[in-house]
Amino acid sequence: MRFRKAVSVLVLSFLPCISATTLAQSQTTGRIAGTVTDEQGAVIVGAEVTAISRTTGEERKVITDREGHFTLSLLPSSTYLVSLTASGFRKALFDDIKVTITETTAINAELAVGALLEESVMVNTAPSLIQNDGPQRGRVVDSRAVSELPLAKRNFTQILALSPGTAAALPDNTAVGRNSQQVSVNGARVTHNNFQINGIDANYIHTNNAQFIAIPAPETIQEFKVQTSLYDSTFGRSGGGNIQLVTKSGSNEFHGAAYGYFRDDAFNANNPFLKAAGVKRPILKRNAFGGMLGGPIQKDKSFVFISYQGTRERDSLTSNVLIAPCLGASCLTEDRSEQTLRNTFGVPTIHSAALALLNVKLANGKFLIPTPQANGRYSGSAPSSYREDQFNSNVDYRLNQQNWLAAKFFLSNAPTTLALFGANVPGFGVEQGNNNRIISLKDVHIFSSGVINEARLGYNFIRQDTYPQEPVRDSEVGIKRSTANALPGLPLISIGADAGGVSIGTDPQAGDTRIAVSTVTAADVLSIRRGKHNLRTGAELRYYQNTFNRNLQGRGSISIQSFKDFLIGATTLASLGVGIADRNLRATDYNFFVQDDWTVSSKWTLNLGLRYELNLPPYDTRGRLATFDPAFYQPRLELDNRN
């Protein structure tokens, strides 16, 4: 098939509601909605509802309709002061009304009879414990929770499983780097999720793996939400969860902070396996430090927020592997002579390559295949390192009462050295570079109190480079390989893998890999209030570029059943992949939706949603895909040839 239709769904849901509440707004905004009545329960038509942001001073006004309903749409996440006035009634004030992304905050006001200019009535309300604004399930986690929860890696993906219907593995506190967590939503695969940051696609489209997405510092996150099921037609792309994250903006008051976190192995107990083997406590030194500042450029008009976070980490990866089983009292020792090996393990001959590998030493003077401590097993640790510098800058600007602009930029560079990668003993680590860039531009335009538009344009870039450490070449130990000249090094050699044996050499997935993934997102959401209908319609275009250069399987792999087989050179399985693995892929997604939240009565809302997605298959600009169709791609090939 040349394309696939991702989803075309009509959703009908009857929702019992206390008031006329409606569904979510957009990926970066929420709304306030409700009903205004008098003390006898009769609706008040023409009441004026005003919401003023406590952080930016932004003011929105609407008038209640013939049913006494009102909706304030596409509101930025903030706390608001809401006032309700009507002729012949006292003014009612609702303070600290919190608006969160993708959700509706309900206010049902009862106005008391009196003069408009008399003393206002302050109404104290607590948030409802019942979500009655739609069938969707999910949970908003705000800035305070993100920054105050004890996250060892200060990574918001480690608390995605707080939302209902989600499951994730227990984070490894000793892992090197960000240690981003994969989450399964309602049993879907962990790659079936959709991540958006500030309304912009933030996915690692190469594998849709959460490991490489941008991770803003907890102090810079305004809030995030994981929607797990029955979210309305505004959200799509995935069959699992939809994760939306919004970073902080400035306000009318200057606020700043500086912080520092540290961990040290001096406070830790030793790994019991290492302690039993007489190995000292592994290194663990982790420091995170940073600061942020936000405030007004011009009060009630323009605002700025900037932040920096640095992370410095040295961490040891541990291994506990079987090197060679002991035969009686005889084990592999520092004496690696051919005669000693033959006598110890009872083999007639020793293969020259095996003998050479057993006697190769690393730069630190230790054997490439380490000498085991007891029972033929080796327990040890190898230091790794991680360094990250990230910057975040946001600017909000009110052009006039009808237009609000927001520009946000995130940058992160994170080089990493992993001492163990594929091989489970020191010597064959990798150098990795993980870089992220996200730029988002948003414009909210108010045509009238009932017609509001949100337009978004953004760019997401992820770069991941991997370079293997190769202390020895196969040509130096007598192993011959057809790709040795182009890809020097050592194949991944696994000895007794089924018994937890030793592996040395370069992992096939770590061979000189350079991956660059970028996404351009253009989206528009139009919100219209007409009588009993709250309409939202919009479209989204995503253009993906995926360029990767990889010497895939270039060094190959060798599997050996046992240590004795290794000594005599008897391999169980050997593989060597050849060919061109480079790709320069392009793909485009087209998404359209319409949502009608119809207030049938004060107790029932009918939610109608239709979403259509056209996700075209990727094509290679140089025609290197196995599914290459010359007839279909000929125009692109001609263009490439001219260039």
Q: Which of 101, 120, 98 is nearest to 111 (CA)?
A: 120
Query: What pLDDT is stored for residue 228 in this prediction?
Result: 83
Q: Which of 235, 145, 149, 232 is nearest to 195 (CA)?
A: 235
Query: Could you tell me which residue, 4 or 345, shows the higher pLDDT?
Result: 345
Query: Could you tell me which residue, 7 or 298, shows the higher pLDDT?
Result: 298
**b/e per residue 243-262 (b: at least 16 CB within 10 A):** bbbbbbbbbeeeeeeeeeee
CA 490/CA 370 separation, integer angstroms: 17
Q: Is the dihedral of CA 102, 105, 106, 109 positive or negative?
A: negative
- Average pLDDT, integer, range 282-297: 93
Token look-up 């860039």 returns 437
> By CB neighbour count within 10 A (0-12 exposed, 13-18 middle, 19+ buried), where does 264 fall?
exposed
Q: Which of 447, 462, 613 is nearest to 540 (CA)?
A: 613
Query: What pLDDT is stored for residue 225 in this prediction?
Result: 86
> By CB neighbour count within 10 A (0-12 exposed, 13-18 middle, 19+ buried), where does 338 fall?
middle
Query: What pLDDT is stored for residue 20 in this prediction?
Result: 33
pLDDT exceeds cutoff 70 at 631:
no
Read off the pTM.
Answer: 0.84
Strands 104-111 and 29-38 turn out to be parallel
At residue 294 the predicted structure's pLDDT band, cuts being 50, 70 and 90, is very high
CA 228/CA 243 separation, integer angstroms: 9
> To 10 degrees, the CA torsion angle through 130, 135, 141, 143?
-90
Query: What pLDDT is stored for residue 116 in this prediction?
Result: 59
pLDDT exceeds cutoff 60 at 8:
no
* Span of 134-138, 356-360, 529-533, 597-601 with lowest mean pLDDT: 134-138
CA 252/CA 296 separation, integer angstroms: 5
Beta bridge mates, 598: 533, 606
* Span of 474-488, 569-583, 619-633 with lowest mean pLDDT: 619-633
Total length of the chain: 643
Tokens of 71: 């909706």
pLDDT exceeds cutoff 60 at 16:
no
> By CB neighbour count within 10 A (0-12 exposed, 13-18 middle, 19+ buried), where does 459 fall?
middle
Query: What pLDDT is stored for residue 355 in this prediction?
Result: 94
Query: What pLDDT is stored for residue 288 in this prediction?
Result: 93
Tokens of 396: 């909000």
Report the Cα–Cα distance between both ends of the chain, in Å, rounded.
29
- Average pLDDT, integer, range 527-532: 85
Strand runs labelled E in 299-376: 302-322
At residue 15 the predicted structure's pLDDT band, cuts being 50, 70 and 90, is very low
pLDDT exceeds cutoff 60 at 428:
yes
pLDDT exceeds cutoff 60 at 17:
no
CA 514/CA 524 separation, integer angstroms: 33
At residue 74 the predicted structure's pLDDT band, cuts being 50, 70 and 90, is confident
Query: What pLDDT is stored for residue 450 in this prediction?
Result: 85
Tokens of 70: 């009102």
At residue 459 the predicted structure's pLDDT band, cuts being 50, 70 and 90, is very high
Neighbours of 92 (CB within 10 A): 22
CA 46/CA 33 separation, integer angstroms: 15
Q: 452 and 74 in contact (C-beta within 8 Å)?
A: yes
DSSP H or E run through 600: none
Query: What pLDDT is stored for residue 7 in this prediction?
Result: 39
Token look-up 């001219």 returns 642
Q: What is the Cα 121 distance to its own chain's centre?
A: 45
Type of residue found at 76? P
Tokens of 355: 């003998």
Q: How many helices (H) and strands (E) does the chain have?
A: 6, 32
Query: What pLDDT is stored for residue 14 in this prediction?
Result: 34
Q: Which of 420, 462, 456 is nearest to 438 (CA)?
A: 462
At residue 128 the predicted structure's pLDDT band, cuts being 50, 70 and 90, is low
Query: What pLDDT is stored for residue 195 in this prediction?
Result: 93
pLDDT exceeds cutoff 50 at 19:
no
